[in-house]
């Protein structure tokens, strides 16, 4: 008679249990849960025609507008300028959609450039996927968009967060980028200590959840809808307010971009060896209260020694240089792209 707990008895139990465990593991591995569906928030096109956004930033704000559908939602883009012109992609920043280029894009097109500009996910007329807004999301959006319009290469021009995005895209997809890149009032290396208190609060996950809730949306909508229509407004600030109040995905996109996106944390992108074969123009204003002027020098010193770079200082310039100094921006882009 075999005593309880002997090695023989343990082996017997193991042989009985092992097939059951293996079958369980097999079925769990063979039939995994399906991938989660990405929920998409609609952009400005979903708003009623009575909303002020249609006057400030209509769907046909630029010529050549169209939509492209990608795995993380549709993207609104515009193509202008001659078909055979040198290709330039304009990348906007954190909060204002492609209308930030309203005085730059048409002038570049008039000079013979083929210009592609678009709304980043969660802004303007592009969808807002309910996901993490990090560099990978943004650079994938641009890579798919370039494939959609059948562009093999382009000069990149980014403003604010778009500058950090231009660096991340160049480091990840160098074969899609020409040897000239321009960044304006560029983020990408911003330290937490230089972020405003409001910005830090906006980046908190709890605040993201609260500002994206239905109750918060209704409250913000009442505030914007009750504002005086006859009072003069800054179109850029007003479009920010309208997006925040009416687009459920907008506040989440802003918060996650501050926390996870190319506003900061792009040191590896700027120090990548791909810059050894490229020229980077850095344009920055001395009175930039959003991304302090010191970051122009910080970005330049982060580049590898093989990169040809130049800093253009706009004395007294603030953060929105594409609005306050459009002629200077266009002239500098033109000079940089055509220089030997």
The terminus-to-terminus CA distance of the chain in angstroms comes to 94
Q: How confident is the model at residue 44 (pLDDT cuts 50, 70, 90)?
A: very high
Alpha-carbon distance of 145 to 78, in angstroms, equals 11
Burial class of residue 37 (count of CB atoms within 10 Å of its CB; 0-12, 13-18, 19+): exposed
Q: Give mean pLDDT, residues 275-292.
A: 97
* Structural domains in the chain plus CATH codes: 40-192+262-338 (3.40.50.1820)
- Cα–Cα distance, 247 to 39 (Å, whole number): 14
| 39 or 176, greater pLDDT | 176
Measured in degrees and rounded to the nearest 5, phi and psi for residue 282 equal: -115, 115
Alpha-carbon span 129 to 260, nearest angstrom: 15
The predicted pLDDT at position 221 comes to 54
**Section 33-42 average pLDDT:** 80
Q: Which two tokens stand for residue 141?
A: 């959006």
pLDDT at position 198 is 72
pLDDT of residue 218: 54
Q: Are 154 and 116 in contact (CB under 8 A)?
A: yes
CA-to-CA distance for 212 and 240, rounded, in angstroms?
15
Give me 324's structure tokens. 């306050």
Query: pTM for the whole thing?
Result: 0.86
Q: Assign 3-state DSSP to the chain and report helix, strand, coil percentages, each to 5.
A: 45, 15, 40
Q: What is the pLDDT of residues 222-261, one digit of tens each?
A: 555 555 565 568 999 999 999 999 998 999 999 999 999 8
pLDDT of residue 2: 44
pLDDT at 162 over 70: yes
On whether the CB atoms of residues 98 and 90 are closer than 8 A, the answer is yes
Tokens representing 67?
């939509």
pLDDT at 1: 44
Q: Are 182 and 257 in contact (CB under 8 A)?
A: no
pLDDT, residue 7, reads: 58
Query: Comparing C-alpha atoms, which of 212, 216, 214 is closest to residue 249?
Result: 212
- Residue found under tokens 């400005």: 44
Q: Which helix (H) or strand (E) covers residue 178, if one does?
A: strand 177-184
What interhelical angle do 161-172 and 135-148 show, nearest 10? 70
pLDDT tens-digit map of 120-161: 999 999 999 999 999 999 999 999 999 999 999 999 999 999
> What is the maximum alpha-carbon separation in the chain?
99
Q: How confident is the model at residue 270 (pLDDT cuts 50, 70, 90)?
A: very high
From 53-62, 89-98, 194-203, 305-314, the region with the lowest mean pLDDT: 194-203
pLDDT range class, residue 279, cuts 50, 70, 90 = very high
């Amino acid at each position: 008679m075999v005593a309880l707990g002997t090695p023989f008895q343990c082996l017997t139990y193991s042989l009985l249990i092992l097939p059951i465990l293996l079958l369980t593991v097999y079925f769990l591995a063979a039939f995994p849960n399906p991938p989660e569906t990405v929920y998409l928030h609609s952009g400005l096109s979903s708003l009623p025609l009575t909303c002020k956004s249609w006057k400030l930033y209509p769907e046909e704000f630029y010529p050549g507008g169209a939509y492209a559908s990608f795995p993380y939602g549709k993207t609104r883009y515009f193509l202008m300028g001659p078909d055979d012109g040198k290709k330039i992609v304009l990348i906007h920043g954190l909060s204002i959609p492609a209308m930030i280029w309203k005085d730059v894009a048409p002038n570049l097109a008039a000079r013979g450039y083929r210009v592609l500009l678009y709304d980043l996910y969660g802004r303007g007329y592009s969808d807002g996927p309910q996901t993490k807004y990090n560099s990978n999301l943004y650079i994938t959006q641009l890579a798919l968009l370039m494939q959609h319009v059948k562009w093999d290469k382009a000069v990149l021009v980014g403003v604010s967060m778009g500058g950090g995005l231009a660096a991340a895209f160049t480091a990840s997809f160098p074969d899609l980028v020409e040897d000239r890149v321009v960044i304006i009032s560029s983020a990408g290396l911003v330290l937490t200590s230089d972020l405003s208190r409001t910005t830090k609060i906006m980046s908190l996950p709890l605040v993201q959840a609260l500002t994206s809730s239905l109750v918060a949306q209704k409250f913000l909508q009442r505030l914007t809808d009750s504002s005086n229509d006859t009072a003069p407004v800054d179109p850029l600030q007003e479009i920010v307010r309208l997006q925040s109040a009416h687009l459920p995905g907008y506040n989440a996109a802003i918060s996650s971009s501050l926390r996870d996106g190319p506003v900061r944390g792009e040191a590896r992108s700027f120090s990548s060896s791909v810059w050894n074969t490229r020229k980077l123009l850095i344009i920055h204003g001395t009175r930039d209260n959003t991304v302090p002027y010191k970051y122009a020098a910080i970005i330049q010193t982060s580049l590898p020694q093989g990169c040809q770079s130049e800093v253009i200082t706009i004395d007294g310039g603030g953060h929105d240089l594409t609005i306050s100094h459009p002629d200077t921006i266009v002239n500098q882009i033109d000079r940089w792209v055509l220089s030997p």
